Structure 1
Amino acid sequence: MLRVEYAYWLIAAFLLYTAWRNLRERQHARAAFWLLLGLLVAGGDAVLAREKVGDPLPAQLAGGAVIALAVLAPSLKRRAHPETASAEQRLASAVRLGHRLFVPALLIPLVTMLVALFGAHLSIGGHPLFATSQMTLTGLALACVIALFAAARIARAPLRQGLFEGRRLLDAIGWAALLPLLLAALGQVFTQSGVGTAIASIANTMLPEGNALLCLLVFALGMVLFTMIMGNAFAAFPVMMAGIGLPLLVQRYGAHPAILGSMGMLCGYCGTLLTPMAADYNLVPAALLELRNPYGVIRAQAWSAAWIFIATFVAMWALVFR
C-alpha cells in the first residue's frame, strides 16, 4: 500500500542530499540547516510514536532542532550556483521542446485528481493500493515522481539533472521553503488556542449592535489581516468565521453563509498578495528571478490587492444580506 509517509521519506532524502552537496562545497551553515530539516521530516512519525507512549525526549529534541533552524536561517544568504547551461543553450532547448515543456507541470494536477477520484478502486491481490485517509496527498506525491520522470524523458536529460536543478532552486529559496510548513502549524495553533472565541468576545463588546455594515467590514478586514499573519487564507478562514462570521453575520444579521464564505475567502486572498508570509507566491519568485528588492513582487501587487478588496467588499455588501 502506498502511504504518504513514503513521500516524506523522499523529501527527507532530497534534503539530506542537498545538505551533503553543500557540505562538500564547504557551505557549513547551509548544510546544517538542510540536514536538521531532513532529519525532522524523516523522524516525524517516530517522534509522535514515542510521545504517545509517554516519552517526551524525542519531541524535546525536535523542538531544539526547530530552534536551531531559526538560528541558522539568517545565515542562508542568497546563493548563485553556476549555471548548468548557457542562456543560448536554454533558449535553444525551449524552442526545440515547445509546448511539451508544460507536460510535466500538467501531469501533477492530472495524476493527483485521478488518484483522488479512482484510487479507492485500485487494488493488488485484494489489497488497496492507496490508504483512503491519505489518498489525495499520496496522489500528489506520486504525481510529482511521475512528473520528474516525464521531464527527464521529454528533455532527454538524466534523472540526476532533476536533483541538481532541485537543489539549486532549494538553495535559492533558502529558509522561505519552510514557511508553508510553519504556516500550516500556525493555523492549527490559532484554532486550538481559541483565537476565534476571543475574537467573538471582542467583537460582541466593541461592535455596536445593529450595524451590519460595520460588522461585515471588520470581518473582511480581519480576513485580510489574519491572512497576512498566517500567509494563507485557508488558515485565517476558520478563525474569522468562528469569531465574527457565524455568530454575528449569519446568526444575528441573517447573512447568506455560502456568499459570505466564498467572498470572505476572496478578501483573504487580497491579504495573500500583501504578505511575505505567503512565501510561495511572493518571496520565492523574487528569489528565483534574483530581484534586487526581495519584496518587489508585493510592491507590484499592492494596488491590485487594494482594488480587488474594495470591489469584493462592495459586492459582498450588496449580495450577502439579500
Structure 2
Amino acid sequence: MEHRKLTAALAATLAASAAFGAHAQTGAQPVIGLITKTETNPFFVKMKEGAQAEAKRLGAKLLTGAGRTDGDNAGQVTALENMLAAGAKTILITPNNAQAIIPALKKARDAGVLVIALDSPTDPVSGVDALFATNNYQAGVLIGQYAKRAIAGKTPVIATLDLFPGHPVGIARHNGFLAGFGVKGITDKTPNQVTGSAIACAQDTFGDQAKGQTAMENCLQKNPNINLVYTINEPAAAGAYQALKAIGREKDVVIVSVDGGCAGVRNVTAGVIAATSQQYPLKMAAMGVKAGVDYAKTGKKVTGYVDTGVTLVAAKAVSGVKSSDTKFGLANCWGK
C-alpha cells in the first residue's frame, strides 16, 4: 500500500515537473496569443503587425483574436479560451474591460500562463504579470500643456471627447490633459475622470470616428462657443473636425489628441489636429512576443510596468513645451 502511494506521489511530481519544464523546452515552438480590443482600429492593426514580425523573427507561433467592438469583453474571453486550448503559454492582451477580464486572466495565470497587458492596464493592475504601455497620463499632460499655450489669449471653452466610462486609459488621458492644461488637484493617481466647471461638454466616443462626429455635434448644440477639443484618439478627432467643418468653424477651434498613427500625423500636417501624443504599439507588441519566447526558453516571467514611450508631435511648436515635428511623426508613426 505504501509502495503504491509512493509511486503515485512520484508520478504526480514528475508530471508537475514536466508541465513546468514545457515552458523551458528550447526545442518546442513557443505559442503566443495576441488579443486586441478590435481587429479594425489602425492602432491594433499596427500592434498585430509588430507581433507577427517579431514572432516570425524569433520562430514563435502567433495566434490572434479580438473583441467585436471596443468594450466587448465576452469576445476577448472566448479568444483567450480558444488560445489556451490551442497551447498558448503566453497571452498578450489589450483589455476591453479592465475589471471583467480579470477572472479569465486569473484562470490562465493559475495554469502557468504568462499574461502581459499591452497599452491598457487591468483593474487591478496586479491582474497580469506585466504591462507594456504608454504612460497615458503623461500623454494627456503633454497635449494639455500644448493646448494651453496654443489657445493663449482666449477664454477656453473645452469639450472632451472621451472613451467610455470607467476605462483606465480614458481616465488617464482625460485627467492628464486637464492637469497639463492647469486644472488643479489632479494627479496620475486620481481614480475617476474629472468633471466640473473646466469642461463645457463631455461626451463618450468609444474611440470611433462616426461617434466622435456625433459627440462633437452634441457638444456644439450644448455650447456653440467651444474653442478647444480634447479627443481620446485620432479617429475621434477626425470626427470632431468634420462636425466643426460642417458649420464653418474648423479654422478657429484647437483639437488635440493621442495616438500618433500615420493617418493622425498626416492630419496634424493638414491642420485637422493641432498636436498629438505619439505612442508605439508596434514596440509594445514586439516586446511582448520576445518576453513570451524568453519565458518558453527559461521559465522566467517578466513582471511589472514597462513604459514604451510617448512623444508630442505638432506642426507648429509653442514656447515652453518640447515637441517633435510631423517629419519625425511620420517616420516613427506607431513603429518606433
TM over 0.5: no
Which bin holds the TM-score, normalised by the shorter protein? under 0.3
TM score, norm. by length of structure 1: 0.28
Structure showing greater relative contact order (alpha-carbon pairs closer than 8 Å, 6 or more residues apart): 2
Higher helix share: 1
TM score, norm. by length of structure 2: 0.27
